[in-house]
Structure 1
Amino acid sequence: MSPTAPSVGRRVLLATALLLPATFAGACSVVGEDGCHGTAAELRRLAEQPLLASAPTGASAPANYRGVGVTTGCDDDSSGPPWLHADRLYAFSGGPDDVLAHYTKTAAAAGWLVRRTAARVSETCWTRTEQGRHLLLDVDLRPTGFSPEPETGTGFAYSVSIGTGRDGGEESC
């Protein structure tokens, strides 16, 4: 039994409705590529930064983030150059001062310069130039926006992030 004319018409209409957005999306990427295209090598380099794996004794991945490790991303949602970043989330049972003391010492030993402390009690930032790129190291003691929320037991979560503008130019904390 062959399909009736109305059912064939509906199938064509459905196929068109499903394929048309994909066609336009493909055309947009050909006409104006997003600023994150071709950033994979730089994101890998950011993910390999040693400070992302450096943590105070007793810090570990939150229970529901074990095995995740470093994540990377490219944010192209502003008028400036896209922001490339590598991030790692930790759970820690000590105090916030212990975290900041660890990163202050470790970052200084690796040549990072402190740029901001206590502007926001929960965040500190360091900068460094490497291979002609300006990098920012950020330790955030109250990270938000994670889904699912990190399970930390009796401790707290903090994140370590290293980022750079796509153009490698100087960015502020």
Structure 2
Amino acid sequence: MPIRTRTTLLLALALTVGGLTGCSTLTGYQDCGGSQERVRSLRALAILDTPPGKATPPRGYEEVDAGCWDDSGEAWAYAHRTYAFPGTPEEVLRHYRAAAARDGWRPGRTRPSAAGHAIDLCFTREVEGTPTVLTVYSLTREAFASSGDPFPPELATGSGFAVEATADAAGTATDCAD
């Protein structure tokens, strides 16, 4: 078989395989395959389980929610905690700035706070060699409505907030602006 014919057949085979696998080999699409260890390391972060005093997880949110999502061509490992807190947003901000510093997290680039989000912090550090982002942010009725999840009644007073660690599933560098 001539080289030109073999090359054409190999190219056709590569395009077919790429099409059957969602073009991942040709477009750089990431999926969650192999992310279990990264998810485990994020789930184990102590800062997720060290809220300010009197903060409690709402009913149905007692555990760390952790996993991987792969949409829009990127895959992200995450670990997330939800808390109801009877105090003020300033107390949450003060607590997490100190707790994050003690745990080796560095303040990330400043981002504009979303409307209605009195709590909006971002920190970065490497977790087991992977660039990781830690965010602490207000939970609002609107955020729950857009996700389709019911708004926990415990968040109706005080300062409901979430603590979330995320990392690119492939280990690519990321920061607070991402």
Q: Deviations over 1:46-86 (max 9, x none)?
A: 10000000100010011x225x310012121123x311100
Structure 1: which amino acid aligns with 2:151? Answer: E
**Separation (CA, whole Å) in 2 of partners of 1:117 and 1:89:** 23
Matches of 1:74 and 1:122 in 2, distance apart? 25
Could you tell me the TM-score, scaled by structure 1's length? 0.73
Looking at CA atoms only, which structure, 1 or 2, has the larger radius of gyration?
Answer: 1
Structure 1 Cα separation of the partners of residues 37 and 131 of structure 2: 16
Secondary structure at the counterpart of residue 169 of structure 1: coil
- 1:89: which partner in 2? 82
5+ residue gaps, structure 2, are 1-19, 25-29
The alignment partner of 2:71 has SS state of coil
What does 1:68-79 correspond to in 2, within 5 Å? Answer: 68-79=62-73
Alignment identity in percent?
Answer: 33
Q: CA deviation at 1:119?
A: 2.2
The 5 Å alignment of 1:120-135 reads 120=113, 121-135=118-132
Distance 2:127 2:37 in 1: 15
Alpha-carbon distance in structure 2 between the residues aligned to 1:111 and 1:100: 17
Partner of 1:151: 153
- Using the size of structure 2 for normalisation, the TM-score is 0.71
- Find the residue that maps to 1:83 and give its secondary structure: strand
RMSD of aligned alpha carbons = 2.2
| 3-state SS, counterpart of residue 153 of structure 2 | coil
Deviation string 1:101-128 (CA, Å, 9 cap, x unpaired) is 1000010011100114562143110000
